Amino acid sequence: MSYCVNCGVKLKNHVSSCPLCGTEVISPANPANHAVKKTVPRQRKNQEDSFDKNLWIKLVSIILAVPALLSITINGVFGNTLTWSLYTAASLGIAWVWLVSPFLYQRNIAQRWIIIDTIALLGFLYLIEHLSASHGWFFPLALPITLFFTVLLLTLVILIRKKVLRELHIAASLFTAVGLFCVFLNGVIYFYILRVFRLDWSLLVLIPCIAFALIAIVLQRRRWIVDELKFWFRV
């Protein structure tokens, strides 16, 4: 007499499954009669991407175009010249570029849309300088900061996509990039204002960033720690 391993009910001889819970019964004495059936997974039909890129682009274009046109119309009707509406239209324009650029191509090439977004941001900053009363800050301040940030971001993306950086090395690179950007930002701002390259607050950011980066590199050498982190973060 045998019993079900799941519910404990008595089983008759030569039964293939439990009559109560349906658990499969495998008897070592009768292997031929209780051969495990191989289940072949059903083939899933290739489903098309449910996200409609063209619909997204059209919706974003309409949603952002309406307030831009309204602001220009109101400013033109109640004002002698277009002033504040140009800032509004330019802000909505750069928002359109940032929201739409990742979906302009069949493949989401990160490097390409980062460059597109950077060009849009530089155009927006240049327009602000041109419209505002204060001139001369774009090339010595906004341009180098934006380009330096873009170079850091592109470098990280390329190294990650080529799998040069993996796991905790990615975290170490991110901490290092944040520290370097703060140092560059601090130095450029001081040079623009005082014409002297000096660092103060950025060192308070750089030192802990380097420390965290070194910790990540050390932990990467301990394989069991990396596996444990992957388990907890479901990576």
Beta bridge partners of 144: none
Instruction: Say what the pLDDT of residue 18 is.
Output: 80
Contact yes or no for 116/101 (Cβ under 8 A): yes
Contact yes or no for 24/17 (Cβ under 8 A): yes
Distance from CA of residue 115 to its chain's centroid?
16
The enclosing H or E element of 10 equals strand 10-11
Q: Which residue has the tokens 């701002």?
A: 189
Instruction: Say what the pLDDT of residue 28 is.
Output: 60
Instruction: Say what the pLDDT of residue 22 is.
Output: 76
Instruction: Say what the pLDDT of residue 1 is.
Output: 62
Instruction: Say what the pLDDT of residue 115 is.
Output: 92
Q: What is the mean pLDDT of each run of 10 residues along the chain (235 residues)?
A: 74 76 70 47 51 88 94 88 90 93 78 91 92 85 96 94 89 95 96 91 95 91 73 67
User: Angle 176-182-185 (CA atoms, 0-180°, nearest 5)?
Assistant: 140
Length, in residues, of the chain: 235
Q: Which residue has the tokens 């008759």?
A: 12
C-alpha–C-alpha distance, residues 141 and 125, integer Å: 11
Instruction: Say what the pLDDT of residue 19 is.
Output: 74
Contact yes or no for 71/88 (Cβ under 8 A): yes
Structure tokens at 20: 């109560």
